[in-house]
């Protein structure tokens, strides 16, 4: 089901729309230094930063950059009074008919259309401003040789001044049954505080960073009873440690504008398992320790706010 949702929305959110509202039909619109059309038009563009220039009779009315987001609509109103510079007409590369058919659409919609009114909030997202998102992602730790699959939860923040590269701060917790691979069977709870960087490429993203991982291991009752039958008190702990993680995924919009986050995160934490056996009859006590790398791979589907 997750694969199906991922595939459908990946194709539906490949482009964003920008409407250039010109004061007259004599205005020429250039996108990324290519002449596209004259007069008011709507363009479908791939996500990312695009250069937009509008000229009328050799006068530059608009020369700026806008960041296009997949499956979003923004509008720019070109005002004749805001003249940037008067320059001679320069021949620039003209878009091919194929590019025109993909990126440009003629429009007769009024400036006060419902779609334009809905884009007012999007126009507030100017270049260079501070950006802050927070997310809540239920996840599932994948089964491996060390533990069974279990559910968990991750919450975090993304913030920064660059729209493509942001800081990532998150808190996660997973709890489930571990296998008899290195430590005794029981319930292992893993909590982590991670900080790193995330790089966005349209709807796709990758991230990496480091975190502090804490472990709480409750040994199974069957093991405790077996040890008790041998007059032994048994305890087992796992040392807390740091680890480096990497993650990647895709963000898409569905169900009336809700932003979803589908991804995978992986980390291997090098830690030490320690056990203590104390004889209840004699004063004998035995301590053992074993170093091992604990892999933690989680898949998650959450919401971004």
pLDDT value of residue 178: 92
pLDDT value of residue 81: 55
More confident residue, 262 or 98: 262
Q: Is pLDDT at 196 greater than 80 in this prediction?
A: yes
Q: How far is residue 229 from each of residues 186, 208, 234, measured CA to CA in Å?
A: 18, 48, 11
pLDDT value of residue 79: 86
More confident residue, 13 or 155: 155
For 1-28, how does the pLDDT look when each residue is reduced to its tens digit (9 = 90+)? 444 444 445 444 578 889 999 998 889 9
- Rounded mean pLDDT of 49-73? 88
CA distance 298 to 31: 41
CA distance 264 to 298: 6
243 near 268, Cβ under 8 Å?
A: yes
pLDDT value of residue 283: 82
Q: Is pLDDT at 101 greater than 60 in this prediction?
A: no
- Rounded mean pLDDT of 181-188? 93
pLDDT value of residue 114: 42
Between vectors from CA 262 to CA 259 and to CA 265, what angle results, nearest 5°? 135
Considering the entire predicted model, what is its pTM?
0.59
Length of the chain: 305
pLDDT value of residue 149: 95
CA distance 240 to 188: 13
- pLDDT bracket for residue 57 (50, 70, 90): confident
Q: Is pLDDT at 102 greater than 70 in this prediction?
A: no
Burial bucket for residue 195 (CB in 10 Å: 0-12, 13-18, 19+): middle
Instruction: Write down all domains in the chain, each with its CATH number in brackets.
Output: 14-123 (2.60.40), 131-304 (2.40.160.20)
155 near 134, Cβ under 8 Å?
A: yes
Determine how many CB atoms are found less than 10 A away from the CB of residue 142. Answer: 16
- What is the distance in angstroms between the CA of the first residue and the CA of the last residue of the chain? 23
Question: Mapping DSSP to helix (H, G, I), strand (E, B) and coil, where does residue 133 land?
Answer: strand
pLDDT value of residue 205: 97
For 260-297, how does the pLDDT look when each residue is reduced to its tens digit (9 = 90+)? 999 999 999 999 999 999 999 888 899 999 999 999 99
pLDDT value of residue 120: 39
């Amino acid at each position: 089901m997750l694969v199906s949702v991922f595939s459908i929305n990946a194709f539906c959110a490949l482009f964003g729309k920008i409407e250039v509202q010109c004061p007259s039909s004599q205005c020429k619109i250039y996108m990324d230094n290519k002449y596209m059309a004259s007069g008011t038009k709507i363009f479908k563009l791939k996500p990312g930063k695009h250069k937009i220039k509008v000229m009328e009779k050799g006068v530059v009315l608009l020369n700026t950059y806008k960041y296009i987001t997949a499956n979003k609509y923004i509008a720019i109103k070109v005002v004749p009074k805001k003249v940037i510079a008067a320059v001679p007409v320069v021949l620039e590369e003209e878009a091919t008919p194929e590019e025109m058919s993909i990126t440009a659409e003629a429009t007769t919609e009024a400036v006060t259309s419902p779609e334009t009114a809905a884009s007012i909030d999007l126009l507030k997202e100017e270049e260079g401003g501070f950006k802050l998102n927070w997310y809540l992602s239920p996840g599932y730790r994948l089964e491996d040789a060390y533990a069974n699959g279990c559910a968990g939860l991750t919450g975090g923040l993304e913030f920064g001044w660059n729209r493509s590269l942001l800081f990532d701060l998150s808190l996660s917790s997973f709890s489930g049954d571990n296998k008899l691979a290195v430590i005794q069977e029981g319930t292992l709870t893993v909590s982590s505080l991670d900080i790193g960087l995330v790089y966005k490429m349209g709807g796709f993203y990758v991230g990496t960073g480091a975190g502090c991982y804490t472990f709480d291991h409750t040994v199974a009752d069957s093991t405790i009873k077996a040890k008790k039958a041998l007059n032994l008190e048994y305890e087992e702990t796992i040392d807390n440690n740091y680890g480096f993680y990497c993650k990647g995924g895709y963000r898409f919009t569905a169900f009336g504008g809700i932003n979803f986050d589908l991804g995978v995160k992986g980390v291997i934490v090098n830690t030490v398992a320690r056990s203590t056996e104390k004889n209840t009859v004699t004063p004998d006590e035995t301590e053992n320790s074993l170093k091992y790398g604990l892999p933690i791979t989680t898949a998650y589907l959450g919401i971004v706010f």
